[in-house]
Amino acid sequence: MSNEETIREILMSHGIDLAGPIVKDDSDEMRSYAFIRAAQDSAGKRIPSNFRLKQISDYLLEQNMHVSFIVTDNNIGSIEETTKSALMVSFPDLIRNAFISSPNRGALIWVEPKRFLSEADEAGIRKKCIDLLKVLGHPLDEVRFTSTENTPTRTVCLKCIRQHAPISKDKLAEALTNEGFHIPGGEWLPRMLDSLRKAGLVMRRKDGGFVLTYIALLNLGTTKGSGSPDIERALDLARRHH
């Protein structure tokens, strides 16, 4: 029995629904890739979970079989979701999230780390991204880490919304980019806005524009002088109605 057949039998014995054959890495004979189908339980959570896949991956590693999982979801099926899932399974202690810009061209993968990453950590993540995109048959442009790029914080996003409100998601991305910030693609900004909304700091109007809540305005406060956010807001309104 080949190594791939052994891996397949082990995965099936653990209830893993395989979406295709086990693929051997051409550049590393000790590594294989397993494409598996994802489903959802009654609570809407994905099964198998990343934690469960990590358990199985560790078990296989004990048998000297290095297997990386690539999860496919019939409802999503995007390169971004597949890449994100594989990275978070491979680096559960290092990666909080991952996003992809321009998935229809060369992929720019943004990695949001959980903590400070060493050069070795970053190198390992980059290699995994290269391997993943190679298996998926999609060109990789670059891998960036939000911790080392000028990515806007929650406060920066709130201040920008305050100045330009009401502002749409796309206009907010444009405004932040014009201020010199890097916006990770895909789900990054929608997730940020959803987080701010759940925290009671922003509201989304029926026309799609975002505005700050009273709580957010209190938290941000104000200052006197030419740098006052209220003056910046007034100047922005004047420019829009000029």
AA identity, residue 97: N
Q: Where are the domains of the chain?
A: 3-145, 154-240
pLDDT (mean) for 121-132: 89
| Residue predicted with more confidence, 32 or 155 | 155
- What angle (nearest 5°) sits at the alpha carbon of residue 113, between those of residues 112 and 115? 150
Q: Where are the beta strands (DSSP E) in 64-213?
A: 66-72, 95-101, 107-113, 140-145, 202-204, 210-212
For the chain, give the percent of residues with pLDDT over 90: 20
- At 7-62, the pLDDT tens digits run 889 999 988 888 777 877 655 667 788 888 877 788 878 788 888 888 998 999 88
Name the band, by pLDDT with cuts 50, 70 and 90, for residue 186.
low
Q: pTM for the complete prediction?
A: 0.53
> Within 10 Å of residue 215's Cβ, how many Cβ atoms?
12
pLDDT (mean) for 224-237: 45
Name the band, by pLDDT with cuts 50, 70 and 90, for residue 196.
very high
Give 82's Cβ-side CA count (13 Å radius).
28
| Residue predicted with more confidence, 90 or 26 | 90
pLDDT given at position 167: 93
> What does each C-alpha distance from 146 to 74, 102, 139, 152, 169 come to in angstroms?
29, 17, 21, 9, 19
> What does each C-alpha distance from 188 to 19, 129, 156, 193 come to in angstroms?
28, 18, 14, 9
Go through the chain and tell me how many residues it has.
Answer: 242
pLDDT (mean) for 113-124: 88
Cβ(80)–Cβ(103) under 8 Å? yes
Name the band, by pLDDT with cuts 50, 70 and 90, for residue 198.
very high
What's the CATH fold of domain 154-240? Arc Repressor Mutant, subunit A (1.10.10)
